[in-house]
Amino acid sequence: MTTAKNILTILIATAMTCCMKSAAEVNENLMTPKGGSNGQILRRYAYITSYNKDTKIPNWVAWSLTREHTNGPHKRGGLRFEEDTDVPQPRATYFDYMQSGYSRGHMCPSADNRWNSRAQQESFLYTNCCPQLSSLNEGEWNDIEIKCRTWANKYGEIQIVCGPILPKGKPKTIGKNKVAVPEAFFKVVLCMKGNPKAIGFICGNGEDNQQPQILSVDDVERITGIDFFAALPDDIEQRVERSCNLASFLQLK
């Protein structure tokens, strides 16, 4: 016999299930870019990625980072990068990166996914990483990831899109499956808190690495051919994408 208490329990469970949308679902329209190379869209629990079957790396990876998602108990200990069986073969594997001289560079970082075990596991799919020099992976790229978590904590939520920049000619590849090696990486960040603001970064992936370039989103769009944050109203999009003022992210306005 169904009691009032049982009905209430069922209703609460149903409501919780309906509300437990993935981080990727919540702001998909806002954070998904347009243009660039065609790719297979993969919707993960914490991010969305456009995968390129020719290069064996993502065209871009996009996610919403909230204050609540900047920490949690689900750390990377014991996890290894995994082949992504949702994409066709040939695809990146462990052996492609082994002794290649390149790190497995997360696009959506492990530290942004401590809030959920599934999100953390999916961050270790090869479709979320690119060949990246260790000096970049552990240096400037990591510094920008830390900055993003600081901004998410400060403002409550930011939108992030990042990915590789390939050379105009035929790229260098690693491994039997010929995983393309980017010559640089881009990251763009949007914050809608208070006065909307956005900023872009480009980091070189060469031995002669210099400091990251701080650019407007418009500049990153010209370099990558990707239209970021296209779902914004035109007046806001034009205003935030023209600016590259790092100081605006350091002040709560």
Catalytic residues: 106
Helices assigned H by DSSP within 82-200: 94-97, 117-122, 134-137, 140-155
Amino acid occupying residue 21 = K
Tokens of 230: 């296209």
Cβ–Cβ < 8 Å for 143, 214: no
Q: What's the CA angle centered on 241, arms 182 and 183, to 5 degrees?
A: 10
Rounded Cα gap, residues 152 and 45, in angstroms: 18
* Cis-peptide, bond into residue 33, ω within 30° of zero: no
Q: Can you give the length of the chain in residues? A: 253
Reduced to 3 states, what is the DSSP secondary structure of residue 237? Answer: helix
Return all residues near 42 (Cβ < 8 A) that are at least 6 apart. 48, 49, 50, 51, 84, 86, 87, 127
Cβ–Cβ < 8 Å for 105, 130: yes
Reduced to 3 states, what is the DSSP secondary structure of residue 38? Answer: coil
User: What are the C-alpha distances in Å from 208 to residues 129, 161, 203, 211?
Assistant: 22, 25, 11, 10
